[in-house]
Amino acid sequence: MHRLAGLLALMALTVWSSLAPAQDAYPSRTVRIVVPAAAGSTTDILARVLADQLGRKWGKTVVVENIAGGGLNIGAANVARSAPDGYSLMVAPPLPITYSHLLYRNPGYDPREFVRITLLAKIPNVMVVRKDLPAATLKDFIDYGKQNPGKLTYASGGVGSTAHLTGLQLELQTGVKMVHVTYRGAQPALSDIIAGRVDVFFDTLATSVPLYRDNKVRLLMVGDTKRVDAVPEIPTPAEAGLPGFKSVTWFGLVAPPATPAPLAEKINRDVVELLKSKEVGDLLRNISLEVGATSLADTNTFFAEEFTRWSKVIKDVGLQPQ
What residues are paired with 66 via a beta bridge? 35
How would you label 121-132 residue by residue, b for 16+ Cβ within 10 Å and e otherwise?
bbbbbbbbbbee
Q: How confident is the model at residue 6 (pLDDT cuts 50, 70, 90)?
A: very low
Predicted local distance difference test score (pLDDT) of residue 76: 98
Predicted local distance difference test score (pLDDT) of residue 313: 79
| pLDDT for 3 beyond 70 | no
pLDDT tens-digit profile of 162-204? 899 999 989 989 999 999 999 988 889 999 999 999 999 999 8
Mean pLDDT (the chain) is 90
pLDDT tens-digit profile of 99-124? 999 999 999 999 999 999 999 999 89
- Spatial contact of 27 and 58, defined as CB atoms under 8 Å apart: yes
Predicted local distance difference test score (pLDDT) of residue 126: 96
**Using CA atoms, how far apart are residues 247 and 76, in angstroms rounded to an integer?**
23
**Using CA atoms, how far apart are residues 309 and 22, in angstroms rounded to an integer?**
38
Question: For residue 241, what is the DSSP state?
Answer: T
pLDDT tens-digit profile of 46-69? 999 999 999 999 999 999 999 998
Which of 158, 77, 69, 65 shows the shortest CA–CA distance to 113? 77
Predicted local distance difference test score (pLDDT) of residue 315: 87
Predicted local distance difference test score (pLDDT) of residue 114: 98
Which of 224, 218, 215 shows the shortest CA–CA distance to 200? 218
Domains of the chain: 29-123+249-317 (3.40.190.150), 124-247 (3.40.190.10)
**Using CA atoms, how far apart are residues 223 and 245, in angstroms rounded to an integer?**
7
pLDDT tens-digit profile of 211-221? 999 999 999 99
Which of 16, 209, 232 shows the shortest CA–CA distance to 127? 209
What residues are paired with 128 via a beta bridge? 201, 219
Q: How confident is the model at residue 24 (pLDDT cuts 50, 70, 90)?
A: low
pLDDT tens-digit profile of 267-317? 999 999 999 999 999 999 888 889 999 999 999 999 998 898 888 878 888
Q: Tell me the DSSP string of 106-148.
A: --SS-GGGSEEEEEEEEEEEEEEEETTSS-SSHHHHHHHHHHS
Q: What is the average per-residue pLDDT within 151-155? A: 97
